[in-house]
């Protein structure tokens, strides 16, 4: 009995190798593009979260003190009042940040930042209204993370709980 052998070597031709490398390169390029796109979206989400958190904290802390405050003066980008523990409080916009001073008199203010350094406050406006003090606070801010930025504008009106006679 004669054994038949096939001496053909099995392997890849040059064309098959070029096609495989091309497909691999195309898939790699698409995956890399998706990764870059996802990174950009992540930075955008971080910027939105930063601006929302900073504005929410600043608005809530100001509103909480205004509700129990009295003797309101100021307007524009600064508000002065006396809080519930008889401290003189000043909120103001300075250098792209909301600052607060809480001292025994308006003569010696000691300002501390209320908003974080990752957020720039574009404007802060206080409007005083009425016999029963009401303060409207309008604020706009921008946060930038990498090339992505987010801008947010908020406004609220707060009335003092203390009734005037």
Confidence band for 160, pLDDT divided at 50, 70 and 90: confident
Span 77-111, pLDDT tens digits: 999 999 889 899 999 999 999 999 998 888 888 89
Q: Is residue 41 part of a domain?
A: yes
Could you tell me which of 141, 133, 143, 140 has the C-alpha nearest to residue 155?
140
Residue 4 in any domain: the answer is no
Q: Per the domain annotation, does 9 fall within a domain?
A: no
- The pTM of the full predicted model, rounded to 2 decimals, is 0.74
Query: Quick one: pLDDT at residue 91?
Result: 94
Q: Which residues contact 55 (CB under 8 A, 6 or more apart)?
A: 115, 119, 139, 141, 152, 154
The domain total for the chain is 1
Considering the domain boundaries, does residue 3 fall inside one? no
In a domain, 152, yes or no: yes
Q: Is residue 164 a part of any domain in this protein?
A: no
Q: Is residue 7 part of a domain?
A: no
Q: What is the span of the domain harbouring residue 143?
A: 14-159
């Amino acid at each position: 009995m004669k054994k038949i052998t096939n001496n053909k070597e099995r392997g890849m031709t040059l064309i098959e190798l070029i096609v495989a490398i091309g497909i691999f390169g195309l898939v790699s390029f698409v995956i890399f593009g998706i990764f870059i796109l996802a990174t950009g979206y992540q930075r955008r989400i971080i910027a939105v979260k930063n601006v929302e958190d900073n504005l929410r904290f600043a608005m809530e802390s100001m509103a909480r003190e205004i509700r129990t405050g009295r003797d309101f003066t100021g307007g524009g980008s600064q508000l002065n009042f006396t809080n519930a523990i008889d401290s003189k409080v000043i909120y103001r916009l300075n250098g792209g940040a909301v600052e607060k001073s809480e001292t025994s008199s308006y003569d010696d203010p000691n300002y501390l930042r209320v908003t974080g350094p990752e957020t720039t406050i574009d404007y802060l406006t206080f409007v005083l209204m009425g016999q029963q003090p009401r303060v409207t606070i309008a604020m706009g801010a921008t946060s930038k993370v990498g090339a992505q930025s987010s801008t947010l504008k908020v406004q609220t009106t707060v009335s003092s709980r203390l009734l005037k006679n």
